[in-house]
Amino acid sequence: MARRAAYRKNHQNRFSMFLVTLVVVLILVAVSVKSADLRGKLAEYAVEEQELDRQIEDEKKRAEEIEEYRKYTQTKKFAEEIAKEKLGLVYEDEILFQQE
């Protein structure tokens, strides 16, 4: 009888170890799959970050151009150009030649 109880206990221990091992393997598989998914997302985010950095640089350049144009519009030269182009004004001593 003692042999039978020892066999049953040994069999239960093996089955328990098998179940624990199976659970550990399933957890490792799940972690590996999720890890691969996260690596893919990380690569996508890196590409998106580079694109956003490029857009930031473009917008900084555009802001500089707008600031330069704003300063230019406050100069006398700009006022003269607009007066000549849009209003057709000229200085008193200026001579205009028109092509026929």
pLDDT in tens, 2-21: 566 555 667 778 888 999 99
pLDDT in tens, 43-76: 999 999 999 999 999 999 999 999 999 999 999 9
- Smallest CA-to-CA distance from 88 within 76, 100, 73, 98 is with 98
Q: How far apart are CA 83 and CA 75, in angstroms?
A: 13
Q: How far apart are CA 65 and CA 73, in angstroms?
A: 12
Residues 6+ apart with CB under 8 A from 96: 90
The pTM of the full predicted model, rounded to 2 decimals, is 0.55
Q: How far apart are CA 14 and CA 7, in angstroms?
A: 11
